[in-house]
Amino acid sequence: MNIPESRDFVVEHRPKCCDKQVDTMGYNLTNSIQHFVCRGCGNKVDIKYWPLCEDDIRDLKLNVLL
């Protein structure tokens, strides 16, 4: 996975809050952080999209970050 693919993966597998996937906000190129926010409760989540290790990929697929 390259960096854009990794960010796409994180966005595609972003966590759920209030029974729906959180919304994508801006991302930070310098520290490879993608920002998300829940429109329901205002909960904010940051996910480091690069580099992703195998465990990160598995957890994102299982949606266990929240």
Applying CB under 5 A, which residues contact Zn ion?
17-18, 38, 40-41, 43
Q: Residue 35 Cβ, how far from Zn ion at the closest point, in Å?
A: 15
How many residues in total does the chain contain? 66
Q: E-assigned strands of 1-66?
A: 16-17, 20-21, 23-28, 33-37, 44-48
Q: Residue 24 Cβ, how far from Zn ion at the closest point, in Å?
A: 15
Cβ closest to Zn ion, residue 1 vs residue 66: 66
Cβ closest to Zn ion, residue 32 vs residue 43: 43
